[in-house]
Amino acid sequence: MLRFPAVIFLVLILALQYPLWLGKGGMFRLHQLQSQLNVQKGLNDAQKQRNIAMEAEVRDLASPSDAVEERARADLGMVRQSETWYRYPAKGNHSANSGSQ
């Protein structure tokens, strides 16, 4: 006689626990969303760093011509008229080119 109420209470407890663990806003879903949030925060931090670097580059390029000259030298290989530019081949390039001839 006492087993029947205990079984009913157990079923009721399990029925109440279902939404907590497996429901739409349950613990498993919460853990999944927290993982997605952590991944997105990492991506956002990387984009913030990229944006900061780009803002600094824009400020440098908007400032006097020193930044523009530095950029032209590095990216385009430009030199002044009074300068002499020397190019040294990489250590591995010379032996690779002579072997294929």
What pLDDT is attached to residue 99? 47
- Of the pLDDT bands very low, low, confident and very high (cuts 50, 70, 90), residue 46 is very high
What pLDDT is attached to residue 91? 80
Q: Which two tokens stand for residue 5?
A: 């109420």
Angle at 52 between CA 47 and CA 56, to 5 degrees: 145
Give the pLDDT mean for 87-97.
66
Domain ranges of the chain: 42-74
Report the range of poorest mean pLDDT among 40-44, 79-83, 91-95: 91-95
What pLDDT is attached to residue 87? 75
Q: Alpha-carbon Rg of the chain, whole angstroms?
A: 33
- Of the pLDDT bands very low, low, confident and very high (cuts 50, 70, 90), residue 100 is very low
What pLDDT is attached to residue 94? 53
